[in-house]
Structure 1
Amino acid sequence: MSIKNITDKIVSDAKEKQADILAKAKQEAEKLINSKVEEALSSKEHIIRKAEEEAETKKNRIIQSAELKVRNQKLTAKHEVIEKTFKYALDALKNLNETEFLNFLKNTVKNYGITGNSVLRVNTARHALITPVTLSELKSLAGADLTLGEALENNQDGFIVEQKGIQINFTFEALINSLKEDLIFDITKILFE
């Protein structure tokens, strides 16, 4: 074999190896590119899925927050209606005419069982209603020896009985407040069902 044949053979073998190496390199490059594309697609799907989950979570939080605000607004409105109901009841009590007030006074003193020496206090506007005749009727109804005491402040209505240093408060505000807890369930039921 001549040098030229040997050289041609080496060159030919080198070209074959070069073609083989290039083909393998192209295959590796394609595999790498395909792998990276698949990885990117998988990442894309993961990112989209994660974004959708976050969006759903955020949407649910917004809905829950809105529902909570609505519930709180409803509760506030219900509370306002209930407070207005109690205010209406208080105003109705404060507007009792003379006969109604005296009946309230007599029934309360009788039913509460006030006895002994006591001082009856009413506001200035009602003070004139408590005559000696009224005090005599109260004594016969309850067995209490009541005397008319100092007037209540004008913004208070109803009455207070002072007995042995103890005040028994029958002002309309005190009565409404004491009944509020007991009646709130019934009032809520009547107003909102």
Structure 2
Amino acid sequence: MAKIDGLINKILEDAEAERDIILKKAEAESNAIIKNKIDEAKEVGSRIIEKANIEAGLNRERIISNTTLKVRNEKLVAKQKVMSDVFNEALDELCAMSKESFLNYLKATIISLKIDGDEEIILNIKGREFVDGTVIAELNNEFMSMNKQGNLRISERIGGFKGGFILEKNGIEINNTFEALINSYRDELEFEIADILFN
């Protein structure tokens, strides 16, 4: 019996030793699995943080870019308004021209044009107050001295423009209004005026 008890004890000791080995191995594997999962979680967390930082940087750049563009557009709108104000002021000054200055402008412009001398002059209300039969007679005499028809006349039509005049013949108009004059020079002068105003 003693041999059996010894054998049983030996089996029990071996089983306990085997159990301890299995438990240690299971604990080591468990720790390794836990460590791997923690490392994976850290890596995933790092990637999430890195991605969030990249997105935050892109959002920041986008916001800065949009803000810069908005500021640039607002400055451009403000500059364009100032430019428009400058041209409107120039138009107002032309429209405020004295009678003598207007008549000198009208005569010089009409005489310098390559026309036949039998056109109608369309004027606004103020222009009609300035231009009378004497002015028309002077122009017609000038045309006749240039071997042209000398049959210029004031149109019954009143122009809806701010200043200047329009010459009309057979439905064809030569626009000499101050608005047209300002617009014709606007593209040419905008760069120079912007340079003076903003630099």
Alpha-carbon RMSD: 1.9
- The whole-number CA distance in structure 1 between the counterparts of 2:125 and 2:62 is 58
Choose which of 170, 173, 176 in structure 2 pairs with 1:167: 173
The answer to whether the aligner puts 1:192 opposite 2:193 as a matched pair is no
8 Å Cα contact 1:90-1:173 kept in structure 2: yes
The answer to whether the aligner puts 1:150 opposite 2:156 as a matched pair is yes
Q: CA deviation at 1:129?
A: 2.4
The answer to whether the aligner puts 1:182 opposite 2:188 as a matched pair is yes
Q: Percent identity?
A: 38
Q: What TM-score, normalized to structure 2?
A: 0.88
8 Å Cα contact 1:125-1:154 kept in structure 2: no
Q: What TM-score, normalized to structure 1?
A: 0.90
* 1:17-166 alignment runs, 5 A limit: 17-139=18-140, 140=142, 143=148, 144-153=150-159, 156-166=162-172
Q: Given residue 195 of structure 2, which amino acid in structure 1 is its aligned partner?
A: K
Report which stretch shifted further, 128-137 or 112-121.
128-137
Q: CA deviation at 1:167?
A: 1.6
- The whole-number CA distance in structure 1 between the counterparts of 2:184 and 2:73 is 26
Q: Given residue 175 of structure 1, which amino acid in structure 2 is its aligned partner?
A: L
8 Å Cα contact 2:91-2:179 kept in structure 1: yes
**DSSP-derived class of the 1:159 partner:** strand
- The whole-number CA distance in structure 1 between the counterparts of 2:81 and 2:178 is 20
Which stretches of structure 1, 4 residues or more, deviate above 6 A after TM superposition? none
- The whole-number CA distance in structure 2 between the counterparts of 1:183 and 1:14 is 104
- The whole-number CA distance in structure 1 between the counterparts of 2:125 and 2:53 is 72
Q: CA deviation at 1:151?
A: 4.9
- Partner of residue 5, structure 2: 4
Q: Per-residue CA shift, 1:129-151, capped at 9, x if unaligned?
A: 22333223323167453112225
Report which stretch shifted further, 57-66 or 123-132.
123-132
Q: Per-residue CA shift, 1:47-68, capped at 9, x if unaligned?
A: 1111111110111111111111
**DSSP-derived class of the 1:99 partner:** helix
Aligned residues: 193
Q: CA deviation at 1:153?
A: 4.0
Structure 2 unaligned residues grouped into runs of 5+? none
8 Å Cα contact 1:118-1:161 kept in structure 2: yes
